[in-house]
Structure 1
Amino acid sequence: MSWESVYRGDGIPREVELPDPPPWRTFPRPSQATEFQPPDGLVEAVNAAIAVRRPLLVTGPPGSGKSSLIDSVAAELRLGRVLRWHVTSRSTLADALYRYDVLARIHAQQLDGRPGPEESGIGPFLQLGPLGTALAPAERPRALLIDEIDKSDLDLPSDLLDVLERGEFEITELARLGGDPVGVREWNSNAEVQAEHGRIACSEFPFIVMTSNGEREFPAPFLRRCIRFVMSMPDTETLGRIVAAHLKGDTVTPGAAALIETFVRRLRAGEQLAVDQLLNAIHLLDGGFPAVERDRLLDLLLRELSGV
């Protein structure tokens, strides 16, 4: 492929045929279940987490495939759709459990001509968050990704302890009502869960993968409630399997193998690089490029993550 056939930078509008995207960048995003290649020891860690019903904390550098693990396990064990909680410094446990849209409820009451707030009919304005949905009753464990938990506020890991230990939580707005069960929508779904006496309690503890880039330490009470696994530095053989799986082939070409060797050599020299950078480079450069242009593109695509 050649970039000149798409964008030339001369400001002249033209009709061009855009290149096909790589298989892993088509939309809607495909599942990475079949492309994921677990490193040594990770299969045992997953089975241990499932057996003892504990979250699996996976630590490794960005782009090492941590987040793809949940797709592989959920597909292989038929755990249904993957629930995802992408953690930031503003993330709270409350939002991950459920959300109550009180303003929408007041607006609906005004449209209905009701004189004031009423405690009935609250269900349509409640929605479970990703963690709350994972803890809802189900015939099989649900699959939940808590991504980049090391980006959270310092208190969040400790806040999780009681919920993950008990496998249940209270919806405060419903708990004071009592009475009949109330249907609450699941996360990103129209399906409903019945909250009994304002509580959601799991019948099967979910399979939870928490990822960390290793940027902070966690408190001991949190760590002892997790099965922990550290992603090892990939070797050429492992990367070859990953590349072949993503490119939908059985083997890699000689050009791709050379890029993999360069990638591994740079990793061992201490550089911070991500596997998706390698995939991008192979997708673009495993063809005919002049040497000067190829070197320039390699510098662009395999730029170290710790640099500017």
Structure 2
Amino acid sequence: MAENWWIYRGTGVPHDGIAALPPAPAWRSFGDWVDSEEELPPPPADDATGLTARRLGRTRQATAYQADDREIHLVNLALHLRRPLLITGKPGVGKSTLAYAVAHELGLGPVLRWPISSRSALRDGLYTYDAIGRLHEAGLRPPDHDGDRQPPAIGQFLRLGPLGTALLPWRTPRVVLIDEIDKSDIDLPNDLLNVFEEGEFEIPELQRLGPGPQEVATADPGRRAIVRGGHVRCAHFPLVVLTSNGEREFPSALLRRCIRLEIQPPTEDRLAAMVAAHLGADRSADGAQRSRLITEFLRRQREDGSDLANDQLLNALLMAERGLWGSAPGRDVIHDVLLRPLNES
């Protein structure tokens, strides 16, 4: 049952509830410098293609992600308190999909995804600058009347990363997904703290050019933004979703700044709804093939301790409905290959 303080309702049906989000707490208010929010750009429209379509299912998007009440509560806590949401859980339980579900329902634009590796550094998420490319371009330009070659505008070679784009002054919060933060170098979680606290960052390459505006590329394909004085400052703190497979511990300084959500393995009803969103109605002859495979999937997880991901189930069901279930060897392939536990060597 929806509660009156919920902004995100977990229905999957787009609505304008973000307009009812109360002002930020005084200690998390970032937009005091904005004269009129109407002058701020809205997030780009998300036409449910690309990543969003793959995450939510091209059909039946309203039921693609079945959030339970606890998950809805904690998403709304992150929205109200302007705090990052740290989601932990086993691979394949829908951690990153939740970010897409929130952005889709609240109309917050395309999710800005930053996939993390052991080589990821804070600057990768904020911006990248191709200094060598700019020098090369300058060398190709004809000299001016004084014989000098003027370098091209720096903004042509500077691109804001996913986190940097989310920290631009948008009319409503953006959603940025920092995916698999537990894969990062040990320093990255601590490096994020200042950005999470201040909601802003500086670009030294632009600051050297003075206080004027510079046009730069963003993480939104084909879109550009104006940065003044090399300073990017948000008007609304983005919904930052960090996902973790639970493979490491994080510093307490990060944990105390986050709303922490642990996603449990899905129930049978929740799995069935997720499968229906991606694959449509059960097209097997007796209408029970899908139910049998879901039951087997859950039995292996709960009784055998098998580490299985939701996308393995989707793959198995897709191939079963394409005919692989029709023979004993085919069923063996589904059980032994497509539903092979991740913790089995």
Deviation, 1:57, is 0.7
Structure 1 range deviating more: 293-302 or 58-67: 293-302
CA offsets per residue over residues 215-270 of structure 1, 9 Å max, x none?
A: 00000000111111001122212212211222223899311111111111111131
Question: How does 1:160-171 map onto structure 2 within 5 Å?
Answer: 160-171=192-203
Sequence identity, in percent?
48
**83-92 or 264-273, larger mean C-alpha shift:** 264-273
Matching residue's letter, 2:74: A
Corresponding position of 1:183: 215
Contact 1:244 1:251 in 2 (8 A): no
Amino acid in the other structure paired with 1:254: A
CA separation in 2, counterparts of 1:192 and 1:203?
Answer: 18
Residue 230 of structure 1 pairs with residue 265 of structure 2: no
Runs (5+) with no aligned partner, structure 2 = 1-48
CA distance in 1 between partners of 2:125 and 2:148 (Å)? 29
What letter is aligned with 2:342?
A: L
Structure 2: distance between partners of 1:45 and 1:116: 58
CA contact (8 A) 2:134 2:151 kept: no
Residues 1:173 and 2:205 aligned together: yes
Match of 1:270 among 298, 302, 305: 305
Distance in 2 separating the partners of 1:281 and 1:257: 12
| Equivalent residues of 1:171, 1:199 under 8 A apart | yes
Using the TM superposition, give the Cα deviation of residue 280 of structure 1 relative to its aligned residue in structure 2, in angstroms: 1.2
Give the partner amino acid of 1:303.
Answer: R
**Which of 93, 116, 125 is residue 64 of structure 1 equivalent to?**
93
Assess if the C-alpha contact under 8 Å between 1:39 and 1:238 holds in 2: no
- Provide the rounded CA distance (Å) in 1 between the counterparts of 2:69 and 2:217: 39
Q: Is the 8 A contact 2:137 2:151 kept in 1?
A: no
How much does 1:293 deviate?
Answer: 3.0
What amino acid sits opposite 2:238 in the alignment? Answer: P
Structure 1 residue 32: Cα displacement: 2.8
Structure 2: distance between partners of 1:137 and 1:64: 33
Aligned residue among 258, 267, 277 for 2:292: 258
Compute the TM-score of the two structures, normalised by the length of structure 1.
0.86
Q: What is the identity, as a one-letter code, of the residue corresponding to 1:263?
A: F
Displacement after TM superposition at 1:119 (Å): 7.7
The letter for the 1-side match of 2:289 is G
Secondary structure of 1:67 counterpart: helix
Partner letter of residue 197 of structure 2? E
Question: Which amino acid is 1:282 matched to?
Answer: L
1:290 corresponding residue in structure 2: 327
Question: In structure 1, what is the equivalent of residue 38 of structure 2?
Answer: none
Q: Distance in 1 between matches of 2:50 and 2:214?
A: 33
Letter in 2 for 1:284: M
CA distance in 1, matches of 2:289, 2:241: 35
* Compared CA separation, residues 293 and 48, structure 1 to 2 (3 A): same
Q: Counterpart of 2:96 in 1: which secondary structure?
A: coil
The AA in structure 2 aligned to 1:275 is: N
Count of aligned residue pairs for this structure pair: 282
**Contact between 2:119 and 2:184, CA under 8 Å: does it hold in 1?**
yes
Distance of 1:176 and 1:28 partners within structure 2: 37
Query: How far apart in 2 are the matches of 1:281 and 1:229?
Result: 29
Give the counterpart letter for 1:57 in structure 2. L
Aligned-partner SS, 2:95: coil
Which residue type is aligned with residue 330 of structure 2?
A: E
Q: Is 1:32 aligned to residue 55 of structure 2?
A: yes
Q: Any stretches of 5+ residues in structure 1 without a counterpart?
A: 1-26
Matched, 1:81 2:110: yes
TM-score, normalising length from structure 2? Answer: 0.77
